[in-house]
Chain A
Amino acid sequence: MIVYLAITAAVAALAIACLFAEEKPTRQATAAMVVVPLLLRLFLIK
């Protein structure tokens, strides 16, 4: 479980990094949407 959560945290961090690296607002919005389920799983909410 710890490994799974560590992977989830890493992917969430990469998605947030993409959010700040992207130039186009549409791509930033896409990255932001990807972050939502990752955070919900990281905090064991869903």
Chain B
Amino acid sequence: MKRRYATAILFLALALAAGAVAGASFLSMREPEPIARGPGVSEIRKLSDWFPGLAGGPGDTEVYVLRGEAPGGSMLVLGGTHPNEPAGFLAAVLLVENARVSSGALYVIPRANASAFTHNDPQEAAPQRLHIRTPWGERVFRYGSRATNPLHQWPDPDVYIHASSGQRLSGNETRNLNRGYPGRPDGKLTERVCYGITQLIRKEAVGIAIDLHEASPEYPVNMAVVAHPRAMPVASQVVMGLEMEDIAMRLEPSPVNLRGLTHRELGDHTETLAVLMESPNASQGRLRGRTDEALALTGKDGWYVKAQKLGRLFVPYGEKGHPIEERVGRHLAGIAEFAAAFTREYPDRPLGIEGMPSFEELGEGGLGAFLRRP
């Protein structure tokens, strides 16, 4: 009898110790990684400045504003809509830390879904963090989840009904930021974040909004720009410009029947030109092998090479994978082309954005060469 209690106490103590270790690890995900204030940042605001309903909550997030001395157009860049798509987040960080605006204004939200950075997707074996070497040390970034933390928004309905269209989706899509636009001021947390971003676009009369994403290599919409119909003239110039730089990019029209996404709803409900960009990320794919930090950073995966040979992928895939420098470089090159094309299309609203590392510079120097000390 005594032995049974002794072992029970021992196992309970071990369970509590395991819980404490795991709990400390999970709680550390709530600490946001610092982002350095780059030379072009005019002010750092919060999304709640445009929608006070987010103030003090897990959905509030930093908005970096870079203003030029000359008047002009305005651009919004969304990183971290899906924090398990690191190239979008890291491209936004590089933008904040390096870009300078000569004309117009640039708004950057690196962590669009701040809540989704505070946890991982269960059963995906995803790394918690990415470590990137710089000339002066190491920068650490969280690798979060695709969706809002269920601790911040719970429970999920069996069926998610998109408010403004009535579209029905799987219940967990209720926590997907890119299914909630244009959002509702009295909706669930994810819808309220969407509403805050929509309000920013309306109040600041943002001319063009770019949502940065990644997609699994077996997903058809990849290495692509998805554009709202009104954004097509500008987006088609961007794709041609990128092709001339030897950066392969497709142009996809925003589907009319797929609701709640930035490239559809922001274009329909505001005056902005709404586009979304995708780069190939093996660490979120279904065909991937070992899932770790190296996969997220290098994209090297033998199973994807095999799938490519079998003709199962929508992007080229070789032994070199798709490293994070290439994926971030694609996004930054796209942003530079969008600024140039917007200026050509609307010369009365020029967008002058300089200082971003180029595709070639990122490939040669690596990401760390352009990350500042926070």
Contacts and interface: CB of A to CB of B under 8 A. Distances in A.
Same complex for A and B? Answer: yes
Interface string B181-215: 00000000000000000000000000000000000
B12 A35 contact: yes
A19 B11 CA distance: 8
B19 A39 contact: yes
B8 A43 contact: no
Given A19-B11, A20-B8, A25-B7, A36 B22 contact: yes
B119 interface: yes
Contact of B23 (A20, A28, A33, A46): A46
Nearest to B26: A46
Given A1-B154, A20-B5, A46 B11 contact: no
A2 interface: no
Taking each of B7, B16, B23, which has the highest tally of chain A beta carbons within 10 Å of its own beta carbon? B7
B27 interface: yes
A40 B7 contact: no
Interface residues of B, number: 19
Contacts of B248: none
Interface string B16-50: 10110011001100000000000000000000000
Interface string A19-46: 1101101001101110110011001111
Given A45-B23, A46-B23, A36 B15 contact: yes
A45 B19 CA distance: 10
Contacts of B8: 19-20, 22, 28
Interface residues of A, number: 21
B151 interface: yes
A29 B48 CA distance: 47
Contacts of A16: 12
A40 B26 CA distance: 9
A35 B15 contact: yes
A24 to B, nearest CB: 9
B11 A31 contact: yes
A16 B8 CA distance: 9
A43 B8 CA distance: 22
Given A39-B19, A40-B19, A46-B119, A32 B12 contact: yes
Contact of B11 (A4, A23, A29, A45): A29
B169 interface: no
B139 to A, nearest CB: 26
Contacts of B5: 20
Contact of A28 (B7, B16, B19, B154): B7
A32 to B, nearest CB: 4
Nearest to B151: A44
Interface string B123-157: 00000000000000000000000000001001100
A35 to B, nearest CB: 5
17 contacts: A1-B154, A19-B12, A20-B5, A28-B8, A31-B11, A32-B11, A32-B12, A35-B12, A35-B19, A36-B22, A40-B19, A40-B26, A44-B151, A46-B22, A46-B23, A46-B119, A46-B151
| 8 nearest A-B residue pairs (beta carbon) | A32-B11, A32-B15, A20-B8, A45-B23, A46-B26, A36-B19, A35-B15, A28-B11
Given A1-B154, A22-B8, A25-B7, 18 more contacts: A16-B12, A19-B8, A28-B4, A28-B7, A29-B11, A31-B11, A32-B15, A33-B15, A35-B12, A35-B19, A36-B22, A39-B15, A39-B19, A40-B23, A44-B151, A46-B22, A46-B23, A46-B119
